[in-house]
Structure 1
Amino acid sequence: MSRIFFIILLCGSLTTTGCSPNNAIREKEIKSKNVIIPEKIIQNKPVTTLLDNRYDFTYLENLPEDKLVEYNRFIQSGNTNHLIEFTPEQIVMVFMNLVFNHNVDRIYDITYNDGNLPSLEIFINEYREYLSPQLEDNYLKFRFYDAIRVDENTKKEEELAVVIEISYGTSKHSVAYALKKEKNIWKMRLYNIVEQSKKEED
């Protein structure tokens, strides 16, 4: 009788020690997949495409290595000549990444100047008031985009619009950004949005 009791006790002990830790590990692994650990944002920090899956998406994931090098040089110096070989779609990707990093200085550098672009100090204040909320919403909404393309209907010699498209189930959404060439570099037409917003307030 004591021998039977010992065998039952031993089996129960093996069952407890054999299942509980494994279940706990599996549960921990499943939960960890849903955890997003935000990356610390550092102004003018060089980026790499070697991303840790724990961190958030970046619009620069598909940027070729040579363009990524030029992007980092632009971030460090503010010299837009590093972007001269960038396509309109790539300029929009750069722009979206700058929005995420709140790097308004560099957003200013790639904003088209139609003669009305104010000083950097004024632009920073107006960007935060008129542009930042919507742009940051768009960053999050379109980060897993299905397509990014030039809208051929808007294409002119030195002016066009880039469209980002995404589907949520049966619902499709898109956002368009206008660009114009300035000294052979594609730049974002942003300040006209600020001007329009200010007029609507009057």
Structure 2
Amino acid sequence: MGYPFHPFKSVKLHLKADNRIMMFLSSASEAPLVSIVREGKQVDGPIHQHLEGQLIYPQLGVLILELDNKVIRLAPDRAAWIPSNVLHSVILNQTYRYHSVYVDPAFFHGPSAQILQVRPLFRELILDAESWFRDPDRRAADRDRAKILMDEMQHAVHLNRAVEIPRRTPPKSNLPRYRSEPRRQTFLDNLVTGRRCQ
């Protein structure tokens, strides 16, 4: 999948989708964003980060996003904004189609990771972004569309639907202490062997 010009100033952006590795070698350009659409049956992406910000939207399927020590479920009514250099991973275990819009931080630098409600205009802009910045005669119009997309993202309703991943170690078992008392050890032995406890 080739582009008539390279969208970003960063050195390299590696993307793995459907057992293909797409690499975008970068150079200065007029394109403030690029949209990649991925389709498949299953993906378990490693934890990674980008120099660009990323807007991720699952058009088909449910996407599980690990971000900022939280697990987030994204359905087609939600998108996630991931600022540049933020660690994240994506898991999909069913047929999927999702859009990743990579945004040059010089064009838009969102404040923090956010889960966003996707309304009709926001959705259509995300879906259409795949076709932007391919035709040199449309670059000015595509740049205007990109500004509208960023504006829609900024004004989208923020959702707080994340599950915190605990950082503490699990509690220690009380079983060794319980076994140290003879009466309780007899109870455990009887429980394992099926004998009646007295």
TM-score (norm 1): 0.28
The structure where helix makes up a greater share of residues is 1
With the length of structure 2 as denominator, give the TM-score of the two structures: 0.28
Instruction: Determine which structure has greater relative contact order: mean sequence separation of CA pairs < 8 Å that are 6+ residues apart, divided by chain length.
Output: 2
